Structure 1
Amino acid sequence: MLWDAQLAGNYSFEWSNGQSTPVLYISEPGAYWLIIRDSLENAWYSDTITISVDEFPKEFSLGADTTLCLGNRLYLQNGPNEVQSYLWSDGSTLDYLQPETSGTYALTATNSNGCVGIDTVQLTLNGIAPVPDFSVTQLCHKDSARFADLSLSPDGSDIVNWIWDFGDGTQLAEQAANHRYEEAGEYVVTLSIRNELNCSNSGQKTIQIHALPTLAFIPSTACSNTPVLFSDKSTSTSGTVSQWQWTFPDGSTQTTTHPEFSFAASGTYPVQLIVRSDLGCYDTLVQNIDIKPGPLSDFTFGPVCEGLPVAFSDQSISFLNLPLEYQWDFGDGSESNLSSPEKTYTETGSYEVSLRTTQSSNHCSSIVSKTITVNANPLARFELPVTCVNTPVVITDLSESRSGTISEWVWKIDTLGTIRKQTPSISFANPGTYQINLSVTDNLGCSDSVGATLTVHPLPIARFETSINKGPVPLMISFTNLSQGAAEYFWDFGDGESSVETHPQHTFADSGSYTVQLSATSAEGCNASFYGNIRGIVPRVDLRVLELSTEISSGYLKIWALLQNQGTLDLEQITLQVKTPGSNPLREELKTTLYSGQTYLHEFATQLPLDTKHPLSHVCVNAFDAVFPDEFPENNEVCLALEDAFKMLPSYPNPAENYLVVEYLIPAEARLSIRLYDTNGKIKAVLYDEVSGAGFNRHRFNIADLGPGVYFYKISYKGTQHSRTFVVN
């Protein structure tokens, strides 16, 4: 090394080693300095410099020639801590070389002083090295970090040896390892592995063991019956606190930073806090909190309606009944210090009402808040109909509920009293004016009232007369209106036709009974009706004998006949005949009018004498009108058996032509046959083969197909037969 003073002239030089030349050649390490003097002996002193020798090039070494497995790395053996840059013979500049073939490899390295070291090494590759890899979890202080081997063996050989260096001076020879670090911090973990072919390799990872959060929270004392606000004061030097789990004495949990919890009674209670950082590290703190006895605030309130006082009632409970101080906040800016105040809200809406009670003895307080809704009062309204005497009307409720639902209606009506229903039906016996008041209350307790005067009008008097009320159709009738107090009229003639004339005429085209209604309406709208009956008829005569009944009294037969006028004309000249076998008919005149549709029981004035030697087998009654011919003569006669035996009666007409009437008596209902024969005994027809009723029976048979001659018919009844002959012309 050369130190040149670079001065020429009249100067003298004094070096620390005693030399006096302007230039000093330094070949040994040591401390060197220089004093320069001019001709006047003025001196200049240099700094002292220390010369040391860098042994890097001499100590630099790749080690002895060696054998590696494919996949092993070649590292600098001596001097790696001083190296600033690397240059391998393959041109790479990493701090290691991973050779792929056997051969000679060189490294040129430069340190911070610029000194260069060069070395070569002969490598022989034999086998394939396993590839070390691992994962680690649970990187929190005081937890056991879990190391999982993820190493691979490219040639398929088994890895047989693992050595973990945890970077804190401890090692473990297991494939999987758990290790607990005593201090948080950064550690370099090395995993060295060897396979069954004796190829080995190692790998490193730097891990960070995170410090646990430092836990703290407040308060340590509070009062019962009021929400206690807990505040987390925890910190973390590793990451940030991100999760909280609070567990309170009742087992409930919360996960907020600042939870609230109410203690129902005084005492000492444990509260647990678990804090977790964003790095997954957590710790637990259980801390006792001292709870002093506090009041339990509560209140009730009555219906809340717009413009009406709301009664608030204190329901608070204090410890040992100690006096309480009250602070009410009604939610609209107004307050009160009374225990049970009243408050009137002038506007509808929701208000948050709170009551805070405080015990002056220990300054414990509690607060309760309730949301009240100030409801709009309902609007009471109704509509009065036109009202007439003795006419039920319904008052229409038009009330509106603006908040809740109307649940109660109270009507107060002159002369009728109180009615509790929404739409009352009312009626007044006398005309006049009546006061009606309505009060409505909704399900929220809010109410309203309204009143009105009702005028009750008198009814008109409806009445009419007709020119006639019965006759053959077409039937024209004139109606005379005799109504009073009416302004309008409506006639319903009962046949689908109507009129609004005062005195109408109407023609009924079809027969039948019609109810004519006259509706008379007054100027006030009151209505009264009058009814009259009209009957239009089609002339038809049908007098029917429905049944006979008899009674034996003192050797005489009394007879009754039940008659019915089934025609449309009233019959005034009815003749009745009683016929018995072998006797002339007995006649009687009905001394009453039998009206259309009327039924009448006639008792014959004539009584028939009875002969025990010749008893009557039956009796028949026939009825007919002397003026009008009957359209249905077949129902004019009814016969009644007087004997309880099977007996054949003479047939008629005889001789016969087109028809033959066969009559007989049987004592009981049974199946009966009637067969027709000629004189040769050949059956010509079965005239009848059905069940016949007990008593008198009559059948009319058509014999128009029979030729002239003598025939006989045979009646068979319950094994007994009777026969009779007749002649056909």
Structure 2
Amino acid sequence: MKRLLLCFLAGMLFSLAGYAQVPSSSFTIPSTACLQERIIPANASTNATSLQWDLCADDFQTLKNNISIGTVSGLSVGAGYKLVEDSGNWYAFIVSQNNHRVYRTDFGNSPLNVPIQTVDLGNPGSALLFPQDIEIYKANGKWYGFVGANDSGYGLVRLDFGASITSSPTATNLGTFGVSGRFWDVKVVEYNSNLVLVIDERNTGSIIRVNFRSSFDNAIVNASHVFVTSLITPNLSPGFDMVQVNGNWIALLTSYSDNKLYQISFGSDLFSSPTVQSSFSLPSFNKPTRIRMVTEGNRYVAVVSNESTAVAVVDLKDLNPANAPTIITQNGLPTFLGLDVERFNGKSLVIGVNGSNNTVRQLVFESDCGVASSFLTTTSPVITYSTSGNKVIELKAINSSSLASSLSAQAVTISSATAPDIDFSIVNSCINAPVNFTAINSSANITSYGWNFGDGNLATGNAPQNTYSTAATFPVTLQVSSSNGCNNNISKSHTIYNAPQASFTMPSASPFCTSQTYQFTNTSIFDGGSSPTWQWSVNGNNVSTTKDLSLSFVSNTSQQIQLTAAIPGCSTQSVQTINSLATGPLVNFTVGAACQSSAVTFTNNTIGTVTSYSWTFGDGNSSTQTNGQNTYATIGSYQVTLQANNAAGCQNSFSKSVTVYSKPQVDFSIGLPPFSCAGNPSQFTDASANPVDSNLSSWNWSFGDAANGTSTSRNPAYTYSTAASYLVSLTVGTNFGCSTTLQKSITISPSPVASFTNSTVCKDQVTQFTDASSGSIQSRLWQIQGNTITTPNPTYTFTASGSFSVVLTLTATNGCIAQSNKVIVVPVPPTLDFQVAKPCVNNATVFTEITNTADPAVSQAWVFGSVGSGTSTPVIFNFTTTSNYNVKLSSTRQSGCTYSITRAIAISDAPVAGFNPSVESGGAPLLVNFTNTSTGATSYTWKFGDQLASASTLVNPSFTYTSLGDYTVELSAFNSLACITKATSIISVVVPSIDLVMTDFYLSKDAQTGLLQPVVTIANKSNVTITDPSVVIELADGGSVRKQLTASIKPTKEITQMLDFQLIPQAITYVCAEVQAASDIDLFSNRKCVALNDQEIVLTPYPNPTTDTLTLDWISKSGAMVSVDIFNSAGTVVFQQNIAGVAAGLNRLSIGVDSLPAGLYFIRFSDSAITRSFKIAVSKK
């Protein structure tokens, strides 16, 4: 595998002595590895104070973040951008071309942060003129800035910040160094112990190198210190950057006019004339401007800004001209003018400013190559990859003294095979004793094991042993191979210790006695860090694992004491013997409460025969009493010892530390009025000082009133019912049982009595509050919904519903306070509503309140526009005209509140009921079809008036009446508003009596044709309706025409109709019209005739022959008197009648002939104009 070592120095403080501190980055790794294989670089770096490992040094392939980090206010074309770090804090400097200013952005401890602030540094000394790019550099403990200019011949400006990068800089124009042109880009490099300023002149593509030697404050002599090389190409170069590769200085320049990137080489001599090594045309270039290079792993990467298109990321490979650069494609990159590139914590960072909208964006490139953490700072990290492929590991060595750094990179190919998992355990750590090593693996595919125990010994197998002959810490390494060809390894440090040497000292006692505790002190010798374990045993029984042993004996037989000291793998023992023990008493005592200046009682609980006791109380006092008692003058801890002596010579003792605590210094106070008033809580405050050695833990108050009030609160509030003086006592105790009691006399003052009333409370209505308090009142304070009012009887309007606390606080002239608190319930205003039924003219319109609320109504008042009013619910009102009426309901609720609602109610026309029966009378059974003629109705109810109360809701029903009688039919017509009107009609069921009368008949003459059209008028004098009667028109010549009329004629009604045919009047002397109906009781009245000339017309008598009655009809024109005579065959007049007052038209005379003998007769008709005779025959039945 090809390996490339890249090394460059950045930010190094310049001094000859500093070169001894130049770090060198170097490491080696295997060229191949498997997934999850532990790769441990062999770090050979020198002169480094810190290391930074980037395990995924291929970041520019992955754009992780592309975010805006703000807009610089006041910036106008950000032509240059520079990131710098100082003492762990990051800053950026931006030059503003059009308004000649420079800005500083503060990022805090990371350039990945959102900027903390941006500081406008203005135009220092007014030295900047259309500034182009900026370089910031620290040399000899001072910070400098270098700024180019767009104006030809203006020169280069140096900014001096002093020791702090955050200082306001001063400015110096360094001139043009004898070069006429525009200085568009500038960079500081260190070359052969010199500080060199490299400048790119835009117009001619000249490269200027200014040698400041050891300090930027040195004077420059152009002939000696300035080196200028004019390049034919590139043309119009607005940006460059340079690095040192293998001792040769390489620069890359952008070419604005031909969209190229030029690579030039100075060789190892920076001051020599460079040569153009190559030029490259790249597809993403569009008038390229700034360029910044960075080393990433084993390659160089450049970020190039374009004038109006997205920045380009260029893979420069190893800067060998033979390896042409390529574009690293990324979507969504922004457009920058000024920009800078940094490698930070394993990430590649690009920050730049848009030249048009002054927005600053941050691009973070970070590759995910399958490691848990890609950025490490350890000396020799353990690296494992979870994904396969080519991985680049980069090591940056840093020297904090010189600020210099060095980079190196190595590549490793990770296969798709997985390395075996491996671990091992270690048992034992003792010199010259076997140490057991056991490999731990779950993949079960290991084929070989290789152990290196760190002492020169090696082994194979999965569970070897090794015996170390010296005590030290050894590096143990296990390397394994698996059946898939993968390897793995693990290293651990293991420390080998000398065996501990057990020993202990016995207590000095003579005799040894039972029931006495003795101390055995461990004096064993062992290696530091070995952490031996201890085991004490007595007579072969284990009794303790503590380092030292406290032990008492219960038997007076011989006792063998043994101490075992052990570390993993080895142990030693020490044994000592007590040959005999005397029987001693078991000493013990208890202590009562131990309080300063109070007698402390010690109770002796010793068991056994005792000849004498001796107490020492730790304060110099002692006692020989069985039970001790001592008073301590001062607080503190005292070692109290009780010694019990017996006849065997035993002097057993028991000691206990006793702490004597101070008593509390009790004090208390009571507040002045209003905190000491009758009827209100009086506040007592414990003023006892907290003892320095204990805590106050109990309080017992006795308030001295008739109720014998008490409290155990520290600061109680107690209510006295009566104003008076009281003797109050307080006993305060501590957590250690010490207490003190204090008594004081206190005075309780009288309180006023607070009370108030209020009027009905309704939302958005004024409520009157009235003070009803008593006592010597100095002031009042009302609290209502957060409002405070001081007037005696305030009014208040609640604007919301709910329960509200109204508090009246009184202050009496003696300072006492009384309070009355009422919860005022403001009812929720109901959403008034009412419903309207039958809102029609001349209907009983019903208004009903339908409000649903928890506050029920008790009364209602209604106003119906300007036409009336009403009360209660429901209420009925009759409107006489249609209109929109404003109906107002005022509803008084149980709460006493009255609410109103007004609604516009439309009063509409009521429906108009009407119907026509098919017949109004007739014989039973009588079928009547009812035709509904109602208007404005949507539903109907019919009542037929029969005994069964028959009804129907059909629009046009039918009903059959089966019994004689008069029936009142009622139709109720309803509209959609439920309004109703009614119509009635009487149906008569009768025995039919038919009598049609032809009341008029005439012929209507057509003025055009002269034709005659019959017109008849027929009256119904029947008691039933006649439907569609027939009319027969008889002509004088014997012809006739029958026509059936289409009409229904009710009783007492008549109709007039013109018949639909015409007559030709020639040769017609008369025309008769007869209406025909079955069972007509008066046939003569059915007939009318009209004469068509001026003569009277006499019709042939009928019937002929006749038996009893002979009928003679004639048509009179003048109405003159008529004579009728009947002659028998002998010429004798057998009948004669003169008829005066004859009506014009048809007349009839009926003559009874039943008294005449059978035979032939002559009848003669005569009037003033004519005489007519007819032969008749009379026959007998």
TM-score (norm 1): 0.45
Higher relative contact order (CA 8 A, sep 6+): 2
TM-score normalised by structure 2 residue count: 0.29
